Amino acid sequence: MFKINSLLTAVTLACSVSAVNAWDALPREAPAPADNPTTPEKVALGKMLYHDPRLSSTGTVSCSSCHNTMLGGEDNRPNSMGVNGQTGGRSAPTVWNAAFNAVQFWDGRAESLEAQAAGPVTNPIEMGMKSWDDVVARLNTIEGYKKAFADAFGGNAISKDTATKAIAAYERTLITPNSPYDKFVSGEKSALTEQEVRGMNKVAELGCTGCHSGPAFNGPGMFQKFPMHSNGMYQAKYHFNKDLGLAEVTKKSEDEHKFKVPTLRNIALTAPYFHNGAVKTLDEAVKVMAKLQLDKELSTEELSDIVAFLNALTGEFPEQKMPVLPPTPGTTFN
């Protein structure tokens, strides 16, 4: 069961993390839970399921529709589009390096990649299937999936549990190491420019790493209130307070406007920004964060330096070859 209270305790502890602890290179492998060890067969199956729009009610939306592994791991939309052209109220988080998040979704309602993978499929706005029983029944009619599930899990293995485990196993391979920042902290001091180093130091000086901590700059498991400081101009322009965040899950007033701390990895590729995708540019996002979270006004030089550093967090993306999906000869679901 999702331990929301223990996670909130972890937030208090994690917010005291020193800036020094943030300067770690990203691991090249993500840890897997004991009940879902990563295997090539699971990853291959998970990749197929992740890219298969037949997991949606209309046969038009897949996981990759909103979390595009050919781009920055999301869809560069303020609000993602699901079945029948519907849109939700939040911007899709990146799937790249999501394996290093302790919780998933903006409101942290899923405690694992496996739990996250189960949600969108039956969300009426996202993929629109009525139930996971319907998903399993559909997959059982596709001969190629019967073999792929048997190879990954053995026997007659098609189920919600095995499908979500396979998707999570694939997502744990979506890691982007070896950014200029990673090279720098690993000893290659020429990997960052002087401006990028200034930006890195300014990020620490301002206190950004108090929350954006750890190798993924995501303060694993942390929630943070946003915005911390009121500003009438930004509120009128970006409407940040319309979303109650964590309180949508806990129904507690003290959790209003708390959100999972997002990764800064590859942030230059994931515009627009914030939970509602209201801010179009990285420069503006940095200004907004400085004012609303730290009550700081940045000079033009400080802003430029920080943005330069954030660009240096773009890593190397593993090559993604699109899977050949199991066919359904002579028939369709829609």
Do 29-171 and 180-311 agree at the fold level? yes
Confidence of residue 3 (pLDDT cuts 50, 70, 90): very low
Each residue's pLDDT tens digit, 249-302? 999 999 999 999 999 999 999 999 999 999 999 999 999 999 999 999 999 999
Q: Choose the CATH number for 29-171 among 1.20.1740.10, 1.10.760.10, 1.10.3720.10, 3.20.20.10.
A: 1.10.760.10
Residue-wise pLDDT tens digits, 101-146 = 999 999 999 999 999 999 999 999 999 999 999 999 999 999 999 9
CATH architecture of the domain 180-311 equals: Orthogonal Bundle (1.10)
Q: Which residues are catalytic?
A: 126
| Biggest distance spanned by C-alpha atoms of the chain | 63
- Please write the tens of the pLDDT for every residue from 58-88: 999 999 999 999 999 999 999 999 999 999 9
| pLDDT tens string 192-230 | 999 999 999 999 999 999 999 999 999 988 899 999 999
pLDDT in tens, 283-292: 999 999 999 9
The residue ranges of every structural domain in the chain are: 29-171, 180-311
**Average pLDDT value for the chain:** 93
